[in-house]
Structures are given as C-alpha cells and as structure tokens.
Structure 1
C-alpha cells in the first residue's frame, strides 16, 4: 500500500532511469529485474528488495554517498505508524488514504452531501456508515467508525494538520441520525471554526449552481517540496487517486472557485447557529 515516502522513492527511481535514457526493457536486459516488477516499483505498488535497489542504483551510476540516502528512504517507505491490527480488514484504497492523510501538511476538502470525515462526531459517523453501507455487519460498521475517529488525531497532535473544509448546505440539512445527532454535529462544526488551523465554509442553497456539484474531493499537500500533491475522489465506481500536475491544478482551481462562492467563516458560523436553533 502506498505511502508518501514510497511515492518519493518511486519518483526518484523513475527520474534516475529516464536520466540515463533507459527503458524498462533496457533495465531488464542489463540487470535481470523483471519488467513487471520494475513497473510496480516505479508506480509505488511495491517497495524494492534491498538487492534489487542496489542493482538499480549501480546501473544508474548513483554515487556511493547517495546510495545511503535512497536506501534510507526505501527502509522508511513501509513505515506506517497509523496502522492498527484491524485496518487490514478495511479496503486497501481507504487505508492508503489514511496513510497519506497522516503524513499530509494540509488538506482541502469539498463535500457535497456529508460532513467531512475529520469533523464528524462518532454518532454522525455511525449513522452515515450504516446508511451508505446497508449490507455491512455491525462489526464492519464499528471498525470503520473507529478508523474515522482515530483519523481525527491529525487535528489535535502537536503539529496539527491544516484543514480547509467547504460543504454544500445540503450536507447540513440532511437529517443524518436524527435531530439530536445533527445538533451535536453542528456544535462540533461550530467549535472547529474557532480553531486556528481549521477553516470552514458553507455554500448556501441560494448560491445556485456551482463547480462542486459533480462531486466531492480531497486535495492533500505534504511537508516536503519533493512530494507532489494528491487528489482523492471517493465515488460509487471506486476510490481514485490523481497526482498529475494538470489534475492538481484543475482541482485547485475548482477549490478556489468554491471558496469564492461560499459564505465567509463568520457567515458560516451564523448559519450554523441558525441551524442549531432549528434543531
């Protein structure tokens, strides 16, 4: 399962190979490393074995001092401190998302129908998961609830994740779990607005059609400049990760458009207060 460090290692090995003007077939011919294996290494599907990595570095003419840096990157590529024993039973794409989120510096999240996962109360999360996965067992639901609540630790650690969340008003009007659950959820959102590392905006119904209507997305950025931003999209057809520069620019522009049409944080706070009173 990919991590930020594994993506960085894969990108570095691709850069070294193309810098030598070698195709994957050339590398296979000169090292005996299977072409399919090389493809999986260069797309961050797997971490290379030590002897495979050394063979690649030797072929690419990497100086000895740099060997140690790249090998250290490889050794840390599978280090996932967030992993819990039951996470192996969650979908691979979801655990990959948790891994990236745990290492991110900032997240920009647009949601059209849900409260963002990082801001959900436990009762809201349980009601959402039950509704979205009607065939899931009680055990599966509780595992997902636990994973979602554990994820929220990124907002309370000593160097917290910076979260900018934009929601459509529809996500607040839908009575997930009933009035009491929604009232508590809105109180949680109101508290989040006051946190310096969180920005929360709502796109009101009277804003009309907007660029976020096709669906939700998450844009994650990381502390190291070498680590490109990632777009994550969760859909009925499956989870999707995008990292091409064109996609990152496009979704970044969409997010900028959404924040422009959304209510200001102060107006969002007033809307939340009004909704809380209604409930």
Structure 2
C-alpha cells in the first residue's frame, strides 16, 4: 500500500475540495464513468495517486480552470516523489515511513512522550538502547537501520528553515536509565544543548502532577505551512503505530497536548529537572 506522504495528502485534499465546490457527490462522479468508485475513494483518501488520464478527467468534470489545472498537476507530480526515502527505509513500518515524510515538510511538531526521550532529540546511543530494549528480537541489521532512520529524522531541526519542535515528556523519561548512566548523562547534556535553540521547546511533567491526560500513551501532531493542509497525528504504541489525518483527530490530540503543556513545568523549571538528572547520572559514573 502507498504511504500517505504529504504530497499525496495534499492532492487528495485538493481533489475533494474541487468535487465539493462543483456540487458533486462521489456517486455523481462515478455515474457517467470511466472513474470507478474504488479509484475515486482511494484518490480522495490519499491511498493512491490516480493516473494522469483519470486526473485530467476529474478536472474536466469539476470544471477546473487553467490555473487550477496547473496547480493540481504540480500536486500530482509532487505526490509521485518520495525523495525522503533512503534504501534502508524499506525495513520500516508503512505508517512510520509516512510520518517521517510528514516531519520532513512540517512547519511544527508537537510531541508527547510518556516513557522515552522524544525521537527527534535522542542521541544515537540512547536511540540504539531504546530500540534494542523494546525490540529484543531485532537483528543487528534491524537495529542499524532503525537507529539510522531515527538520527536522519533529526535533520529537520538543523535545516535552513528548521522545524519548530515543542516536546513534552513525563519525568519518567528522565529517570529511566536507558543504556545506563553514561548514555543518560550524555542524553541529558544533549537536551540542555538543544534547548538553547529558539525553535526547540522542552517541557517536563513532574511526578507531583499525578494522573494526567498523557498517561494512556505517546503521540505527536504535525502541522504544515500550506493553507488548508490538515494536521497529522502519529501514535506509536504496543498495538502498533497509526497515522491519523481527520480534522476531528487533529483537534482532539491538539487539545490533549495543550492540556499536557499546561500541566508541565515551565521551560526554565523543566531544564532544572533535566540538569538535576544529569548531575545524578554523572554522580553514578563517578562513584561506580
């Protein structure tokens, strides 16, 4: 199945809006052929890119003018590109690959983690320890490919127009000794360095808060610069991962994230907790 890349999603959204602006239902479109119900559904749900002949037929049916045709043709071309993919990405889960594509073009990502340091700010050693810990049957090749994918994702934070990242994590993520004190001490220093960047904001929810809306699991919300481009939600859990792009899902998880950010400490106090964790892991190293 085709990954729901941002280009494919943009094309699907544009086609749906054109049809609706023309006052046509899906049944109206397929009544006269030659477009089948499944072809139209897959095109509008970002499940597949229609061939160029089908695309031009739809544009004619919807009465698209020359400027609109040029715009949609450009979206169709963009939807056919997967430049973000690396050869080893074939080993990654479909929704995870689609999420990498979303991060690659997103303007902002809001990430919440209940047990781990967020992937975009992990060190290589921490990422390797996490992946090996949650996937004990992984081969050395599996581990190498997944760690490399995670590290390459972080390029969005250092590109000319970097992604804006707001990350909220539970205090448990700072205290669980993933990889041992050396790995954690390095990870805490890395967080402190990244927090100096104006486009990166880190928050920690302290244990003293008690129960909070993020306890059921981790998620991230990506938003984009294109007008009308719907936000995307990524959920990675024990039952598998999922990519959600409905307006209702985006609103729901955006509201949850806002509640989590309110429950979290200020950036200043969060960094104080990170610094405290760093000191304790360094102390373990010194006294070992």
Name the TM-score class by shorter chain. Answer: over 0.9
TM-score (norm 1): 0.96
The alignment status of 1:209 with 2:221, answered yes or no, reads no
Match of 2:7 in 1: 5
Gaps of 5+ in 1: none
Q: Which moved more, 1:147-156 or 1:254-263?
A: 254-263
Match of 1:24 in 2: 26
The alignment status of 1:192 with 2:194, answered yes or no, reads yes
Aligned length: 279
Structure 2 counterpart of 1:148, from 147, 150, 153: 150
Distance 1:249 1:191 in 2: 32
The alignment status of 1:226 with 2:221, answered yes or no, reads no
Distance 1:252 1:24 in 2: 30
3-state SS in 1 of match to 2:80: coil
CA deviation after TM superposition for structure 1 residue 19, in Å = 3.1
3-state SS in 1 of match to 2:177: coil
Distance 1:80 1:198 in 2: 27
3-state SS in 2 of match to 1:93: helix
Gaps of 5+ in 2: 282-288
Deviations 1:81-131 (A, max 9, x none): 221111122111111000000010001001000100000000110010011
CA deviation after TM superposition for structure 1 residue 28, in Å = 2.5
Structure 2 counterpart of 1:61, from 45, 60, 63: 63
CA deviation after TM superposition for structure 1 residue 27, in Å = 2.2
CA deviation after TM superposition for structure 1 residue 6, in Å = 1.5
CA deviation after TM superposition for structure 1 residue 278, in Å = 0.8
Match of 1:180 in 2: 182
Deviations 1:204-242 (A, max 9, x none): 111111111111110111011221111111122222222
Contact 1:3 1:78 in 2 (8 A): no
CA deviation after TM superposition for structure 1 residue 193, in Å = 1.2
Match of 2:247 in 1: 245
Structure 2 counterpart of 1:50, from 46, 49, 52: 52
TM-score (norm 2): 0.93
